[in-house]
Structure 1
């Protein structure tokens, strides 16, 4: 999506899509720590005098971006401002707008914006937008199939040798996901920890595949690869849902840890994180 520009210097990109749930249910998913942790990353709001003032996300490996809350109008609008992606770049503001629709659904509109007098930072907005894609699809899956359930996230982000595309090819080949398509029934092949479900999302650049898991436990498994400043990374997030989410995460985390270390032995120090 192209960057929209106006006379004030505001440059923005926005995305809009439909989600299941009432405005109150959608608000809980996008504007509470447990809700955000169910589809994005472990999150918590800092409070002052009973009001949220900042949102902190925990991506692991010391990455804990903090965003100042600038608008708080439940269950309609929530906005926050964070530092730019690179030193010296303008802060990026993100707005979340919820609009009730018929049939128990809502329209969720997300706007990323910054102020600049030149086009120098337009690619920053485009990177922000593309980086959200798989997470927002996970949010849709969560609100459709697991809304309001407890969740526990197990996640890995592992540096690997080679290019981003080579890392993706290695990951998908090892997981039996090469050539996966939306709607396909997928079962992990021999040598991969037990996992099976329906492929819900496939993206090439950014490289992402989401599987809505029903075996051996309710979950969403997110496989991805990304170039982080010249270093290729592969990622795996498994969001377990339901009353047994924590126990299922504890049961299957060691199996996936062993598999990842076998696939990427040069980085056997990679560790799993379980939160929820």
Structure 2
């Protein structure tokens, strides 16, 4: 059986390898940058983002502070292909003058066109998720995260949806961005990842250096596009963040009936 496609990226994190390893291998730490919920045992890891999006993976190999490999099978990709495939996520950690160079390799994706959307979503996803890990460890290490998550599906194209979300305007100067949201609020901070018409990722100054992620993706051929608006905040009352979530959810339903 062919090995299939893989995606790979690297991120330097201003934290020691011990802290990065902990963030990859402990449930409480994973929840501070990656999924909404995480349960880790000696044999496997279960990650949940809500709306039926779950990763249940076996821990195939680990070498403390150096290497971690998760593996998973068909239950995650039955909508894009019926052939048995084993996919894997590998994390390589290397100490670098007190920092950590983290390399992530996600492999085993099918070569068929039916895999394209899933492959692209995962490829882009690791860009923002690795930034989330970096942001957490460099700015909020040891602090629990509160998440505002609003979502909606639509038959409109990515560009049509992006235009609706960005209608108020977005400007970028050097590494700073200013975004007038559909709520009428002004979001400002460091621009971390800009990939229109699919992704916007940046910090939020007014929410104690929170992290904003807006993404548009389709999970399998023929599926509707899904908009995700995700704000991960630290040191902000949960009530305040959940009010932001409600406002975004209501606005998405107004924009995309």
State the TM-score, normalizing by the size of structure 2. Answer: 0.82
Post-superposition CA distance 1:182-233 (Å, at most 9, x none): 612426469435643222221136x111121221433111111112333011
CA distance in 2, matches of 1:87, 1:198: 39
8 A Cα contact 2:214 2:230, kept in partner:
yes
TM-score, length-normalised on structure 1?
A: 0.77
Among 3, 21, 37, the residue aligned to 1:10 = 3
Runs of 4+ deviating beyond 6 Å = none
After superposition, give the CA deviation of every residue in 1:61-93 in whole Å (9 maximum; x if it has no partner): 122221111112222211111235334241211
| Counterpart secondary structure, 2:22 | helix
Preserved contact between residue 62 and residue 68 of structure 2 (Cα < 8 Å) = yes
Deviates more, 1:164-173 or 1:179-188: 179-188
Structure 1 segment 119-198 matched on structure 2, within 5 A: 119-120=111-112, 123=116, 125=119, 127-174=121-168, 176-177=169-170, 180=172, 183-186=175-178, 188=180, 191-193=183-185, 195-198=187-190
Question: Are residues 1:225 and 2:220 paired?
Answer: no
Whole-Å separation in 2 of the counterparts to 1:259 and 1:210? 16
2:232 is the alignment partner of 1:239: yes
Once superposed, what is the RMSD of the aligned Cα atoms?
A: 2.9
For 1:217 and 1:224, locate their aligned partners in 2 and report how far apart those are by CA, in whole Å: 22
1:123-160 per-position Cα deviation (integer Å, ceiling 9, x unaligned):
56555323322222222222332233321222122113
* 1:24 pairs with one of 18, 22, 25: 18
Task: Provide Cα deviations, 1:91-138, integer angstroms capped at 9, x if missing partner.
Answer: 211111111111x2111111222298xx44885655532332222222
Q: What is aligned with 1:274?
A: none
**Which segments of 5 or more consecutive residues in structure 1 lack a partner in the other structure?**
1-7, 269-276
Q: Check whether the contact 2:152–2:252 (CA below 8 A) recurs between aligned residues.
A: no
1:204 to 196, 215, 222: 196
List gaps (5 residues or longer) in structure 2.
none
